[in-house]
Amino acid sequence: MPEEKQVSMSKILVTGGCGYIGSHTIVDLVQNGFEVVSVDNNSRSHASVMQGIEKITGQKVKNYKVDLCNFDDTFAIFQENEDITGIIHFAAYKAVGESVEQPLMYFENNLNSLINLLKCVQEFETPHFVFSSSCTVYGNPDSIPVTEASPIKPAESPYGLTKQMGEQIITEFSKVNEMHAILLRYFNPVGAHPSSLIGELPVGKPSNLVPAITQTAIGKLPQLKVYGDDYPTRDGSCIRDYIHICDISHAHTLALQYLIDKKYSEKCEVFNLGTGNGVTVLEVIKAFEKVSGVKLNYSIGPRRPGDVVAIYANNDHARTSLNWNIEYNLDDMMSSAWNWELHLKQDEALFNKQNTGLN
Ligand code: WQD
């Protein structure tokens, strides 16, 4: 009698597993008992991230270096892992400015990869799907905090449009397939794992605020530019809902468990992932200076086109239905981001030393 194939009831495919949110989510999944495989073509990420994951969890997670826009290669992953019971889909281009300059590249990459994945879901009858969406789907909200029922406004960029279209594609697909889905709308994920072994690795000059702050503080960038202090807010700078990457990653584990436990009431459910607190750019800078002890070199510049004045989440749905609790505050976000930047500098020094023969 051939040995019964061991089918893990919880093998999860994480796409974009070498990325910022993907890597932190793999750590949380593994630490909560899930078996994980990753797919990431490393076009916008580093394969070495998997070593950081192994150091934290003690587990080696396999990454398939595959472009999800290649259907045959994607299909082969499912053939090799027929016991995949859930997918968390992060893999996508996400630079707002770049999407404005190269819209077709964004539509082709972000939508073709999703459609290929869903074709495999259909073929292999994968039951659970969690999608990485963004608060950007709300555009410039009429009222804040935004709930999941807040109106979806015209996207501010082709990147934001691919998130809106992705949500609609998944919603329509789930109506006529067994798959149940959850759409997670992130606000502003920041910070790094407390171990400083994984964190955000922006490609080129960072467009997001917190890596721009830490790279300025450590001397990689000459000065931080604050994009406008003449907005109708308490100190004139924009308001956002910054949330620790580890709170975001744990929400993915809870979302998956929610699907596995069949707690859903619809085929496709939406959850806001934000702290519910709005914080201004200048307040973020003050918090960073407080926890790092570094006086940040910044100046006020003109507004950045496409920026919304203020947005932050009503997170009641995620807190109650997913039993999700926010563990980290703004100081934790700033200190973990700074420790990660310091770790990168140490690593670079070690790398240079090793590569120049100096011991
Ligand atoms: C935050 C605030 C800037 C940089 C974007 C995407 C969103 C998600 C997160 C992917 C704004 C100000 C920034 C700087 C600054 N991306 N700022 N100087 O624009 O809220 O969200 O990134 O999922 O989808 O839209 O984040 O960090 O770029 O900006 O003053 O050098 O910081 O003007 O007010 P954003 P951000």
In this model, does residue 8 exceed pLDDT 60? no
The pLDDT value recorded for residue 65 is 98
Rounded Cα distance, 212 and 293, in Å: 17
In this model, does residue 312 exceed pLDDT 80? yes
In this model, does residue 51 exceed pLDDT 80? yes
- The residue whose C-alpha atom lies closest to atom 14 belonging to ligand 1 is 209
Question: Which residues does ligand 1 sit against, CB inside 6 Å?
Answer: 94, 96, 134, 136, 188, 207-209, 212, 224-227, 238, 240, 281, 304, 307
Q: How far is the CA of 206 from the centre of ligand 1 (A)?
A: 10
The pLDDT value recorded for residue 348 is 82
The gap from C-alpha 13 to its chain's centroid, in whole angstroms, comes to 15
- pTM for the whole thing? 0.95
The pLDDT value recorded for residue 3 is 54
Residue pair 237/245 in contact by the 8 Å Cβ criterion: no
Confidence class for position 5, pLDDT limits 50, 70, 90: very low
Report the percent of the chain where pLDDT is more than 90: 90
Residue pair 14/90 in contact by the 8 Å Cβ criterion: yes
φ, ψ of residue 358 to 5 degrees: the values are -75, 125
In this model, does residue 7 exceed pLDDT 50? no
For residue range 66-104, what is the model confidence (pLDDT) as tens digits?
999 999 999 999 999 999 999 999 999 999 889 999 999
The pLDDT value recorded for residue 2 is 55
The pLDDT value recorded for residue 306 is 84
Section 315-342 average pLDDT:
98
Q: How far is the CA of 282 from the centre of ligand 1 (A)?
A: 13
Domains of the chain: 11-350 (3.40.50.720)
For residue range 54-68, what is the model confidence (pLDDT) as tens digits?
999 999 999 999 999
In this model, does residue 9 exceed pLDDT 80? no
The tokens describing 22, both together, are 């993907």
The pLDDT value recorded for residue 305 is 86
| C-alpha dist (Å) from residue 52 to 20, 55, 240, 350 | 12, 5, 29, 16
For residue range 237-248, what is the model confidence (pLDDT) as tens digits?
999 999 999 999
Higher pLDDT, 97 or 43: 43
Best probe residue, ligand 1, of 21, 209, 334 (max atoms within 8 Å of C-beta) = 209
Q: How far is the CA of 353 from the centre of ligand 1 (A)?
A: 35
Section 171-196 average pLDDT:
98
Question: Which residue numbers are catalytic?
Answer: 159
In this model, does residue 225 exceed pLDDT 60? yes
The pLDDT value recorded for residue 349 is 73
The pLDDT value recorded for residue 355 is 64
Best probe residue, ligand 1, of 96, 99, 133, 223 (max atoms within 8 Å of C-beta) = 96
The most distant pair of C-alpha atoms in the chain lies apart, rounded to whole Å, by: 75
